[in-house]
């Protein structure tokens, strides 16, 4: 969706300030926010793509004025209510108003194994890939109201397949309870000037992971069809 979470290429938000790779949290409550998100997902009431969509559908005024883990907490509240694990009134009052529904959450002792294992999104190949490494492609232009992993700044742009990852769950469907609908997944490399225009640095390249339905055949530079 074209929401507040899709800010790539937008101006007026200040510079991107890199942080040390080993700096994960800025306050203790952020650690608890991550822990709660992991623990609450254990009953299986939602998947990772639904979790992402819950965060990206926050009101823009809320999303843009909230820190990273504050967004996670507010997205989790939405998921808890929509799944029936808690009520909106309980969220508002910050306390349980009834016995609740039994649900097994993740315990502290289980966390290391769960994090180490992760959740696999790759699936068996069901047909040959449509594109190969080195092949030119162009991303489709669409403005979905639902979840997508194709950023707005990269739509309708020409790139080259850099890597073929195999078949993976399609987030666009998975986020909305429409099944996994697995597709081939590719890393596509774009020239910076293709994305940002002539003002982009000449040596800039950008790669994104794109599902097959995001792509269509491109044309090779210098070929008659690219004129």
pTM of the model: 0.88
- Cβ neighbours of residue 39 under 8 Å, at least 6 residues apart? 105, 106, 107
DSSP letters of 20-86?
Answer: -TT---SSHHHHHHHHHHHHHTTT-SS-HHHHHHHHHTS-HHHHTTS-HHHHHHHHHHHHHHHTTSS
More confident residue, 170 or 111: 170
| pLDDT for 111 | 78
Percentage of the residues of the chain whose pLDDT score is greater than 70 = 97
Mean pLDDT of the chain: 91
Percentage of the residues of the chain whose pLDDT score is greater than 90 = 73
End-to-end alpha-carbon separation of the chain, Å? 32
When pLDDT is cut at 50, 70 and 90, the band that residue 93 belongs to is very high
Enter the DSSP assignment of 131.
-
| pLDDT for 76 | 97
Q: What is the pLDDT of residues 136-182, one digit of tens each?
A: 999 999 999 999 999 999 999 999 999 999 999 999 999 999 999 99
| pLDDT for 101 | 76
- Cβ proximity of 131 and 164 under 8 Å: yes
Q: Which domains does the chain have, with CATH numbers?
A: 28-119 (1.10.472.20), 123-226 (2.30.30.50)
Beta bridge mates, 207: 189
């Amino acid at each position: 969706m074209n929401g507040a979470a899709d800010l790539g290429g937008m101006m007026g938000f200040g510079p991107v300030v890199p942080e040390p790779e080993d700096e994960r949290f800025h306050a203790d409550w952020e650690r608890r926010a991550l822990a709660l998100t992991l623990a609450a997902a254990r009953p299986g009431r939602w998947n990772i793509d639904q979790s992402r969509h819950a965060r990206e559908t926050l009101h823009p005024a809320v999303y843009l004025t909230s820190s990273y883990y504050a967004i996670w907490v507010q997205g989790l509240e939405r998921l808890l209510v929509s799944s029936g694990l808690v009520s909106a009134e309980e969220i508002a009052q910050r306390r349980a108003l009834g016995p609740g529904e039994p649900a097994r959450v993740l315990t502290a002792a289980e966390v290391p194994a769960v994090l180490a294992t992760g959740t696999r999104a790759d699936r068996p190949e069901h047909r040959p890939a449509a594109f190969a490494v080195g092949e030119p492609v162009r991303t489709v232009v669409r403005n979905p109201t639902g979840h997508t992993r194709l950023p707005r700044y990269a739509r309708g742009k020409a790139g080259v397949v850099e890597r073929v990852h195999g078949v993976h769950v399609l987030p666009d469907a998975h986020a909305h309870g429409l099944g996994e609908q697995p597709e081939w997944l590719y890393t596509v490399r774009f020239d910076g000037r293709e994305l940002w225009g002539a003002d982009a640095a000449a040596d800039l390249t950008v790669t994104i992971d794109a599902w097959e339905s995001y792509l269509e055949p491109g044309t090779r530079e210098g070929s008659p069809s690219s004129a």
